[in-house]
Amino acid sequence: MKSPSATHALIRGDRTAGMLTMSDDHVMMNQILATHAPDGRDVDVRPLLYLVEDILNRATEHVDFIIKGTQAQIEMEEKAQQANYIAMLEALTFTIDRIACELSYKALRGSDPHATTTAIFSFLSSYAWDAKLVLSLSAFALNYGEFWLLAQIYSTNQLAKSMAILKQLPSLLEHTAPLKPRFNALNTLIRTMMDVTRCVVEFKDLPSMYISPDAPALASAMTLIPTAVYWTIRSMVACATQISSLTSMGHEYGVLATESWELSTLAHKLQNIHEHLRKQLNLCYQHIEEKKDVDTFHMLLKLFDPNVAHIDNMKHLKALIYAGDDKLPLLDGATRRKVGLEVLRRRNVLLLISSLEFSGDELAILEQIYSDTRMHEAGMQSHYEVVWIPVVERSGVPLSEETRTRFEALRSSMPWYSVEDPFLIEKPVMRFIKEVWHFRTKPILVVLDPRGKVLSQNAIHMMWIWGSAAFPFTSYEEENLWSKETWQLNLLIDGIDPLILDWIKDGKYIFLYGGDDMEWISKFVASARTVASAFGIPLEMVYVGKNNKREQVKKVAAIIKERKLSHCWEDPAMVWFFWTRLESMMFSKIQLGRADDLDPIVQGIKKLLSYGREGGWAVLSEGSNILVNGHSTTVLPTLVDYVKWRGNVAEKGFNLSFIEYHDQLHNVAHPCCRFEFLATTKAPESIRCPECHRDMEKHTAFVCCHDEQAIPDSLFAS
């Protein structure tokens, strides 16, 4: 019988020789691959792996307890039902026991580790790579778990104490401090073995419907998996040898640094393998996610097919917002409570889709329209519900603190329903919103009927023009509403300023004017007052700014108020809404294919939007009847030169005399017209000039207005 020291030397010598002679990985792996002859059986190793993880996690925790003197009590989650374990163990118990015996016997004898590993591969030749690995790890866990179970209870259980004495555990555990490097190395290697095993099993579980074996990431991983399985089982052999040596030869064997070095070397090798496998696995998951996203996108296309009928809107809302039942995805703006999608079942739903760059003016006006509607519908069921869907680019997970704060601030200010978490909106949904509903940067309002059918891909323009009166926001209703409109001041002002509506009722002459040239404004106001006085007409004037240069407009308005030149809109939201409604009218006409119609409304909108960007402008009306819509270069000279046309007033009247003289100047001046569309806005292919009615030239422009705060989300660039 060999002495302990002789056996120790034999074990070390055999192991070193094995490491040296098998340095050629290519030759070694050819030997392993020669043993691989799977018979096609499909072994579900997940339940077994959960059980093994439980054993090894508790065992490695006990290692930490032995070293540190404390033990964390961790309750492992039950990951499989007992019935699954029983059925699986009945089929695999013999195989696991056989490998466990092989590990113990060869470890005790000090056999060559490569030869032991190869023998295990030969015994498991008919199994797939993931099954080979999990079965081997199960066998190792059986032995290792028994070792630490005895170590844990031997002091309180007589049977365990007797068995522990046979294994020399009491002596071993009395010298835990010198063994700390060994236990640390064992702990690290075992956890790395589990990491690699989980990774290999994850590759086996990848859904074949979303990733094929020839996908680059999966193909690369599959070439490495045999090597990963080999070195993991080889590491089990090394760990088994270490434990056997400790129990058979005592703590004196365990204090040698060379043994810890071998375990650390194997751990380092396995960690490198695991890092590479995990990288490839992440690429596989990315590939699968992209495939799933494509499938989800196509599912959305079919779901929102206008030719397909549905019972209600729940499939649509779940597909867009959240399909699960484990959380409440909406926040009720009225009660500030989380609610489910059921509150929207068979309701008309307006999906307010925007980024977090939602202007305060825009939100304030929309809230006012929403509140007015709810007030008028008091005691009745509302016509529709609004749901805010935030589109937030996923540059990081979770959201940055700044982005989260912006999101929560916006959500808290909304009185309607909001998506509770922007990450609920998945990437294929955002793609659908952008590609199908043409969302870019400006908020859009998608209208769904009670069955989920899209009535309008963007009713925001109808909402700005007519508010809730445009319900149900269909193209038919849009055409119907336009058929009732005429080119009058009521259309431009609507309910923005009640004072102007009073002037209209009183039949007064009204000048709406704008621009940012204070010298022109002063001359215009003085000349208008002179003309009104000369002809004895009741004239009121209101400054409504222009559709860009927000800060400059505020300064001009402050000067007008200080000098008491005329009435002006001091609230920037009123100025913003006036121009936004005009832009919405233009966009509505574009959507309906009416952008080039020669009716007075289309021509008037075009002129105002164009004049609002170049110098000053003015609209003169008598009551609501618009007389002149002119540029600064024609309106001011008409006022200044009133002595030239005053003689016609007695015969033709003031209105016609003013119009004729202005038109004469206009026919000579022909001010330039231009329309600027943001690159993020769907612009028409062509548009006709409201002055000469010819097709306008298309240019690309880069513009900076040097304004401290440009009008947000404007349809047209500044």
Q: What is the pLDDT of residues 611-648, one digit of tens each?
A: 877 678 899 999 999 999 988 888 999 999 989 999 88
CA distances (Å), origin 629, targets 421, 597, 616, 662, 666: 48, 18, 12, 10, 11
Average pLDDT, integer, range 253-260: 52
Single out the residue of 413, 411, 361 nearest to residue 713, CA to CA.
Answer: 361
| Phi, psi for residue 589 in degrees, rounded to 5 | -65, -35
pLDDT classification of 11: cutoffs 50, 70, 90: very low
pLDDT in tens, 471-526: 888 888 899 999 999 999 999 998 788 999 999 999 999 999 998 889 999 999 99
Q: Which pLDDT score is estimated for 362?
A: 85
Is residue 604 within 8 A of residue 487, CB to CB? The reply is: yes
Q: Give the whole-angstrom CA distance, residue 654 versus residue 192.
A: 94
Q: Which pLDDT score is estimated for 550?
A: 77
Q: Give the whole-angstrom CA distance, residue 186 versus residue 180.
A: 10
Which is more confident, 684 or 606? 606
pLDDT > 70 fraction of the chain, expressed in percent and rounded: 78
The model's pTM: 0.74
Residue 305 has pLDDT above 60, yes or no: yes
Average pLDDT, integer, range 404-427: 91
Average pLDDT, integer, range 129-158: 82
Residue with tokens 């007519």: 466
Residue 418 has pLDDT above 90, yes or no: yes
Which is more confident, 694 or 578? 578
Is residue 227 within 8 A of residue 78, CB to CB? The reply is: no
Is residue 350 within 8 A of residue 385, CB to CB? The reply is: yes
- Residues contacting residue 139 through CB under 8 Å, at least 6 positions apart: 96, 97, 98, 99, 100, 102, 103, 236
Angle, alpha carbons 101-104-109 (nearest 5°) = 120
Q: Give the whole-angstrom CA distance, residue 4 versus residue 249.
A: 6
Is residue 547 within 8 A of residue 713, CB to CB? The reply is: no
Q: Which pLDDT score is estimated for 137?
A: 94
* Per-residue tokens: 85: 């374990």
Q: Which pLDDT score is estimated for 671?
A: 59
Q: Which pLDDT score is estimated for 228?
A: 94
Q: Which pLDDT score is estimated for 254?
A: 45
Under CATH, which number does the domain 313-392+402-463 receive?
3.40.30.10
Is residue 541 within 8 A of residue 566, CB to CB? The reply is: yes
Average pLDDT, integer, range 677-686: 55
pLDDT classification of 428: cutoffs 50, 70, 90: very high
pLDDT in tens, 314-352: 999 999 999 888 899 999 998 999 999 999 999 999 999
Residue 531 has pLDDT above 70, yes or no: yes
Which is more confident, 377 or 212? 212
pLDDT classification of 88: cutoffs 50, 70, 90: low
Q: Which pLDDT score is estimated for 15?
A: 45
Residue 65 has pLDDT above 50, yes or no: no
Is residue 388 within 8 A of residue 417, CB to CB? The reply is: yes
pLDDT classification of 293: cutoffs 50, 70, 90: very high
Boundaries of every domain in the chain? 34-67+81-292, 313-392+402-463, 485-703
